[in-house]
Structure 1
Amino acid sequence: MSLETLEWLNKNTLIGFTEKRGTAWHHHRGMQGTESNHYAGAIPVEDVRRRLFGWESVPSEVYVKSPLTGYPERDDDRVAFSRSDTGRVLGYFGPGYEPHPYDEWLLNKVAQLLDDDLAVGSAGLLKGGAVAWVSVEVPENVVTPEGVTFRPHLLATTSFDGSLATTYKPVVTNVVCDNTMHAALKESGQVVKVKHSRKSVLKLAQARDALNLVYRVADSFTDEVARLCRIDVDDRQWQDFLHAHAELPAKLGRGRTLVERKRESLTHLWKNDARVAPWRGTAFGVVQAVNTYAHHGQVVRGATRPERNALRSLTGDFDQLHHRTLVSLSRVLDVPDLAPAT
């Protein structure tokens, strides 16, 4: 992890409710300037606006060097959006693209939804400011009878590089390992997406429906943990799951070595790691092992681990991982419908 990356995280992410979740792993007070990026309680909306979103995305003309003349010529089919404060180019788009400014779509619209029981729990910029998020959370942690401590929240995110539609969805964070986990909601309309088009509009009633799911996700996730903890998985079945989840290539070589290391890492988590071992012998332990490995052990290329984890949380990759894990486990245990519908 480079010092530049650590400095970015300490200056471009805000972490709230640290009395409940603890400090972020990247916390380095000396890199935060005159203000800490950690808050014991809720993060004031104005702090998010001032510290993260105090710039505009400015459209600019795009010029391309002509292969015929060697001189730059204007590309009328594209426009570039850049940060007004640093000049960094965030993305290139066609004429139908409609930007969703962070201040408006992640703060003003979210602020209209907040009530006395919900507040901003985290916010940040990724990819040089091309992606942003704001998380709306309940103040208190939730603890299941099985000892799983988690925080339900509404995740609002959008982008200026075309990678994400503006999205509002309920998610769950497992506090012990700081992992994003499947929210286990069966209700329709739990994810609200608004495309970056000229007809884009957020219906606040629809967004409030998604926000209201934050209250129900606690019960849903608690039920999901209980359900998975009731399903036994012995060591033989764990080995069978590894064969299904991380299939070993027949041919010797680097690919086989990588799969062997993955299996070893998963088994270490299953047997010895405090983030997983308390639920060893259950389906939830299997889910927790795979999820923790994906967050903290899996090889990351082309990005830093915290940025990759944050992006996977925003895109829903961890929900897909949860589903694939339970599909594989269902086959091993010969238990139908173990995985939730997607």
Structure 2
Amino acid sequence: MSKETSKWLNTNVLVGFTDKRGHAWHYRAEDQGIEPNHYPGPIPVTEVKRRLFDWTAEPARVFVEDRFGLRPAGHHLGVTASDNGDILAIHTDEYGIHQYSTWLLDNVAALLDDGLAIGSAGLLRNRKQAWVSVEVPDNITTPEGVEFRPNLLACSSHDASLKTRYKRVVTNVVCDNTMNIGLREDGQDHAITHRRNSNLQLLSARDALQIVHTIADEFAAEVKKLCQTTVTDRAWRAFLDAHTPIPDEPGRARTNAANQRSALTRLWTSDNRVSPWKNTGWGVIQAVNTHLHHEAAIRGATRAERNMTRVLKGELAKHDRSATATLHRVLAAV
């Protein structure tokens, strides 16, 4: 069972700059505990360290027990939490532990000048995954009325579900969604495999700031392009046929597809997170992205956990790019 209950999200995820973007969608005042997890401005490095990364992942010997007794499992490495002994993972002995406090905080802290600050940080999957987001203080609003925040996202894991990665993403303020539609899949993203003796050549603060501003320029250009792309009602229906086709055979798949198309159309026509850009390419991508974040079926995890895991693994970026490619194909055909 996922541990990312509302209480977990409101105590183990820190959200900054709420004066600029409001509360996170999973915010629940009653689950805040003694200390609120929302900060009106940037999140101090000391707070991230104290509240999230005040423990370490420790190597541990692995044993097997069978009819021959208890024996050490050679060439295997356990990873446990220093504060409570939780078993985080078992790997081969080639695995290298990347401490969150070092790889996500100390390394990122070196970038926090020239206008960059921590905008969010959190733990997921019972502390097996973590992230820290570096942001500029102010939202950016395009001439088309799209408000967003560029991020340099640092993430890692102790269970090998994520490489340690520094990547470019965008937060869409109106719906608290993460988007990646116009950003290159390669370049400016740096991943380090969890291997013994792995190390990081840290970006300079100037390089990091340039990356964040490059995100803003690229994303704004893509928003402008999509807002200038006309999508007629006929083209919208053609997009739905390509993006969410209805199977010929009756059954659950057909019902699910019909429900998804209905939800997308509702977002397109009457939801204020999408409808202001109806009949544009941006409206199409916004409908698809908002549906995935807030309405698509989720199994085996809470929605917030699944959304963030998709961001960290790059799945949302691929989804946005796929929807954009589908839209261009449809417009070329109609």
Q: TM-score, normalised by structure 1?
A: 0.93
Amino acid aligned to 2:13: T
1:65 aligns with 2:55: no
In the TM superposition, residue 35 of structure 1 has moved relative to its aligned partner by 1.4
Change (3 A) 1:188 1:126: closer
How much has 1:186 moved relative to structure 2? 4.5
Structure 1 partner of 2:265: 267
What corresponds to 1:293 in structure 2? Answer: 291
Matched to 2:266, the amino acid is: H
Measured in 2, the distance between the counterparts of 1:309 and 1:41 equals: 24
Structure 2: distance between partners of 1:311 and 1:4? 12
What is the percentage of aligned positions where both structures have the same residue? 51
Higher relative contact order (CA closer than 8 Å, sequence separation 6+) = 2
Hey, what does 2:274 align to over in structure 1?
A: 276
Question: Secondary structure of 2:5's match?
Answer: helix
Consecutive aligned runs of 4 or more in structure 1 exceeding 3 Å deviation: 1-4, 185-188, 205-211
Q: Residue 339 of structure 1 aligns with which residue? A: none
Gaps of 5+ in 2: none
Alignment of 1:200-239 (within 5 A): 200-205=198-203, 209-239=207-237
Partner Cα separation in structure 2 for residue 280 and residue 202 of structure 1 = 44
| d(CA) in 1 for partners of 2:300, 2:68 | 33
Distance in 1 between the 2:3 and 2:194 partners? 34
Q: Distance in 2 between matches of 1:86 and 1:334?
A: 58
Structure-1 separation of matches of 2:37 and 2:203 = 32
- Mapped pair 1:26 → 2:26: yes
Q: Deviations over 1:213-265 (max 9, x none)?
A: 10121121111100011111111111111111012111111111111111111
State the alpha-carbon separation in 2 of the partners of residues 267 and 4 from structure 1.
30
The separation in 2 between residues aligned to 1:188 and 1:309, in whole angstroms, is 21
Distance change in 2, residues 1:3/1:188 (3 Å): closer
In structure 2, do the counterparts of structure 1 residues 155 and 334 end up closer, same or farther at CA, with 3 Å as the change threshold?
A: same
Seen in structure 2, the aligned counterparts of structure 1 residues 123 and 21 have a Cα distance that, compared at 3 Å, is same
SS at match of 2:64: strand
Kept in 2, the 8 Å contact 1:170–1:211? The answer is: no
| 2:113–2:205 CA contact under 8 A, matched in 1 | no
Cα distance in 2 between the residues matched to 1:276 and 1:286? 8
Map of 1:47 onto structure 2: 47
The secondary structure found in structure 2 opposite 1:129 is coil
Aligned mates of 2:312, 2:100 — CA distance in 1: 15
Corresponding residue of 1:8: 8
Measure how far apart 1:210 and its partner are: 5.0
Structure 1: runs of 5 or more not aligned: 336-342
In the aligned structure 2, how far is the partner of 1:43 from the partner of 1:206? 21
Distance 1:2 1:152 in 2: 29
- Are the structure 2 counterparts of residues 236 and 176 from structure 1 closer, same or farther at C-alpha, using a change threshold of 3 Å? same
d(CA) in 1 for partners of 2:12 and 2:203? 31
After superposition, the C-alpha distances for 1:133-153 in whole angstroms (9 at most, x for unaligned) are 000111100011111110011
Distance in 1 between the 2:275 and 2:26 partners? 25
For residues 83-130 of structure 1, give each alpha carbon's deviation from its aligned partner in whole angstroms, at most 9, with x where no partner exists: 112222111110110110000001111111221301001100000000
